[in-house]
Amino acid sequence: MIGATERILAVVREVPAGQVVTYGQVARLAGLPGSARQVGYALARLGMESGVPWQRVVRADGSIAPRRAAADQRRRLESEGIGFDAEGRIDLERWRWHPGTDPLSP
């Protein structure tokens, strides 16, 4: 029996570098519509060196969830080519990941 946390992490691992997804989006893709908080909670208990690209998960409005590692997350995303506006938000229209449309899948 695969737990919800496992499915959440599986989805996050699918997100290609240079693109982002929102918490709610991950929840839906994991089959847990409406449980966006669960996504954040699963990532919070995760180790930063777990290999999961947690930095690619952002809020529904494109901003970074305020916490200790927020600055580190922004730095990582910028190094992947993602840009932020003056209010610290990402243009989701431009960098949002849509399943099946990642650069490596023709």
Partner DNA sequence: TTTATGACGAAAG
Partner DNA sequence: GCTTTCGCCATAA
Quick check: 102 and 19 in contact, CB under 8 A?
A: yes
The partner residues of 90 in beta bridges, in order of sequence, read 84
| Of 11, 19, 29, 54, the one binding DNA by CB under 7 A | 54
Quick check: 89 and 61 in contact, CB under 8 A?
A: yes
**What whole-number distance in Å separates Cα of residue 84 and Cα of residue 28?**
25
Closest approach of DNA to the CB of residue 39, in Å:
6
Quick check: 104 and 28 in contact, CB under 8 A?
A: no
Q: Which stretch binds DNA (CB under 7 A): 63-71, 74-82, 92-100?
A: 63-71
Query: Is there binding between residue 19 and DNA (CB under 7 A)?
Result: no
Query: Is there binding between residue 32 and DNA (CB under 7 A)?
Result: yes
Task: Tell me which residues touch DNA (CB under 7 A).
Answer: 4-5, 22-24, 32, 34-41, 43-44, 46, 48, 54-55, 57, 59-61, 65-67, 69, 73
